[in-house]
Amino acid sequence: MERVVIVEKLKKNFRVREKDAGLLASFKSLVSSSYKNINALKSISFSLNKGEMVGFIGPNGAGKTTTLKILSGILYPTSGFVQVMGFTPWERKYDYLNQLGLIMGQKNQLWWDLPAIDSLELNRAIYNLSDKKYKKNLQELTEILDVADILRRPVRHLSLGQRMRLELVAGLLHSPQVVFLDEPTVGLDVVAQAKIREFIKEYNKNHEATVILTSHNMNDLLGIVDRVIIIDKGSIFFDGKLESLVKKYALNKIITATLINPVRREDLEKIGSVVEYEFPKVVLAVKRTVATLAASELLQNYPVSDLNIEEVPVEQIIVQIFQANAEK
């Protein structure tokens, strides 16, 4: 497999100025300032193959956006080796930037007071797209994202969901082969999120693009990515398949049963931990190694009309991992 993104022992430190609150402290800082070094990235390593789509997740301040900014050439690293499509990102060569797409949910690339089509025409010139390619890509993207009828409205008159879909058009107009998506569904409603997720999946499939997707919304990752990289406090502590994440960190399984008659809560506690009990529904958490045995005991000894065994939701596992890491 062709490795498109290579990151080895990447470090990024920031030197941040510190001062106490108040006017006097402000005057003192003019004469003597104190600084603090922040290790945003602590020797992280990973690689991505051509056409791979990876979820890059972590809490605020974990190092996700810093990593994407280095990969896209916006920031210089403190040390380490980084190569994307054979280029060193921070050299910002035209041939590199012409194959790269960076879309940040909280940053606008469309001109606020102008119709979106004007910004797209500007991108056409920046990326030196031929008339044929521009029209083809524009038609494809606007049809899939359902924004053809709003291209000539001033951006400030559009809803957040409409703007985000047009941001995707602007960021992908030049058919980039590597795409970095930073919180592309932030602030959007459920319907808009679903549309954007489906589009990202289709773009990856149709263009064989390599995609890194960061998000706090686990729904953005489920059903889209097979692999996740979890970063916290500047370090990577998991890199692998979603199913492997579940097997490694989900110690329990969830049994949901529908009861015919009420059962004493203390009797149910003998089988597993009662997560929820509102007759007729009961939800138990049991150790994954004995889940089948616990379900059998429930069926044999209690009036059950329906029963289901499920994995713990992935988002719950992620939260537990971050909470445990924060306590270290």
pLDDT above 70: residue 327: no
The amino acid present at 233, given as its one-letter code, is K
Fold identical between 3-246 and 251-311?
no
pLDDT band at residue 52, thresholds of 50, 70 and 90?
very high
Domain boundaries, the chain: 3-246, 251-311
Q: What is the residue-averaged pLDDT of the chain?
A: 88
pLDDT above 70: residue 58: yes
Longest dimension (CA), the chain: 78
pLDDT above 90: residue 96: yes
What pLDDT score was predicted for residue 31?
A: 67
Report H helices in 128-189.
131-145, 160-172
Tens-digit pLDDT profile for residues 196-246: 888 999 999 999 999 999 877 777 777 788 899 999 889 998 999 877 887
pLDDT band at residue 298, thresholds of 50, 70 and 90?
very high
Report the predicted TM-score, pTM, of the whole model to 2 decimal places. 0.78
Q: Closest Cα to residue 254, out of 299, 295, 221, 301?
A: 295
What pLDDT score was predicted for residue 260?
A: 93
What pLDDT score was predicted for residue 17?
A: 73
Q: What pairs with residue 281 in β-bridges? A: 258, 278
The token pair at 224 is 């889209």
What pLDDT score was predicted for residue 311?
A: 80
Evaluated on CA atoms 147, 150, 154, 157, the torsion sign reads: negative
pLDDT band at residue 30, thresholds of 50, 70 and 90?
low
Mean pLDDT over 246-275 rounds to: 89
- Tell which CATH classification among 3.90.79.10, 3.30.1490.20, 3.40.50.300, 3.30.565.10 matches the domain 3-246: 3.40.50.300
| Residue range 251-311 in CATH 3.30.70.980 | yes
What pLDDT score was predicted for residue 295?
A: 93
What pLDDT score was predicted for residue 28?
A: 67
Could you give the 3-state DSSP secondary structure of residue 224?
Answer: coil
Report H helices in 10-63.
23-31
What pLDDT score was predicted for residue 106?
A: 67
pLDDT above 90: residue 54: yes
Do 237 and 205 form a contact (C-beta atoms < 8 A)? no
